[in-house]
Chain A
């Protein structure tokens, strides 16, 4: 497949990039690594008039330690570099594990953290070549009010496959969204919308510039299930963090992804674990509660009943592992 034509603009610095975005708005698309965007453009799911490359913007490629023991990570940092960053491995091993799970080494060598957080949502119908899609009528993502994945749906159910989102969410991370007019901080938990077509709160003239992770004394874990672990998008990803003892945790945070348009915080399961601690019974109950919380389920070539069982097992195994983790 070949790329459609577009006008290419390489931002010299952040201010320059934001000015271009302000000028072109929805006609422009930001590219950093391009490993997700260029494929969607080849599929003609995205045909921006202007492509704004942020690869030359050094302000987006820094990792800074913050006073509270946290980190500020530039959105344009390449995943391979971040995986090798000792400050991340030391402070937030759960993020390192999640980043190592993204794509293959080839992909991580160009893909960025900001790009993974803004990853386009996917489903088995739409994320195919234009010729494949022509075998049926359109859908919410193209030109029709219809969904081929869940026939009765009144919105797009394409799923969010970001591996780093759940890991960052259980670390209470937030993101910085900058525009020509200023910048705002959004907690990652409020960053996603449960709609496959318009799945983040990023406005057309805004750019995700950095990820802020506060210092933390939480123990955490990341787990991913995929058909081909070394490369594929996940069938399910799960991240959990806990503060305090296993018997009486102060706080538990559980997030599941690759099951819906937005990563899913598992409130009911969190409640069970806070009330009962991480006992075998409570973990089983939390995994069952998570399975029940899944709701309508779309997926990539995985039957939904099978996926529900997988998710339960994924959560149960990860929580057992988390219980045995010292830090």
Chain B
């Protein structure tokens, strides 16, 4: 059960990493690549703190995916969301509404929100609730988070209109 070499693209950068078969994607992101923005929470798929976006932009729990299955694939973490020096609109919206208490769940919530808004530019209340159900804030609640998601929808829409104009 020696180490095996995989090629993993993280936030656009390709890495060759020696891993063991029992390492999860979360283990590799945090321990091998030092990308500690992705949090280790329950490690059982309940809390969503470890959420990253997969090849198709989908939200997944990196604690429930073996790193070895990601050979040749790409993943986006919270470190790759920012666009140059500009925060992503979802990040800006979370800041504006203070949708943070201790902050531990925030990277997961932002990746979850981004996964939703990347494929659905005008989500309904139900769709937001459904998407966010897998990412859990234990400190405070989801009211501010949902306000931030709504704001992010507006900001992304304005930006799209601005680009079109």
Contact = CB atoms under 8 A, between A and B. Distances in A.
Contact of A51 (B21, B23, B60): B21
A55 B55 CA distance: 15
B7 interface: no
A160 interface: no
Interface string B131-159: 11111100000000000000000000000
A39 to B, nearest CB: 5
Interface string B57-77: 011110011101100000000
Given A42-B43, A104-B48, A231-B133, A110 B68 contact: no
A106 B21 contact: no
A246 interface: no
A10 B67 CA distance: 13
A105 B68 contact: no
Nearest to B20: A5
A103 interface: yes
A5 B54 contact: no
A53 interface: yes
A47 B85 CA distance: 46
Interface residues of A, number: 30
A110 B69 CA distance: 12
Contacts of B66: 8, 31, 34, 38, 53
Contacts of B24: 3, 38
B64 A38 contact: yes
A35 interface: yes
Interface in A1-52: 1-8, 10, 31, 34-35, 38-39, 42, 51
Given A4-B22, A8-B21, A230-B134, A109 B58 contact: yes
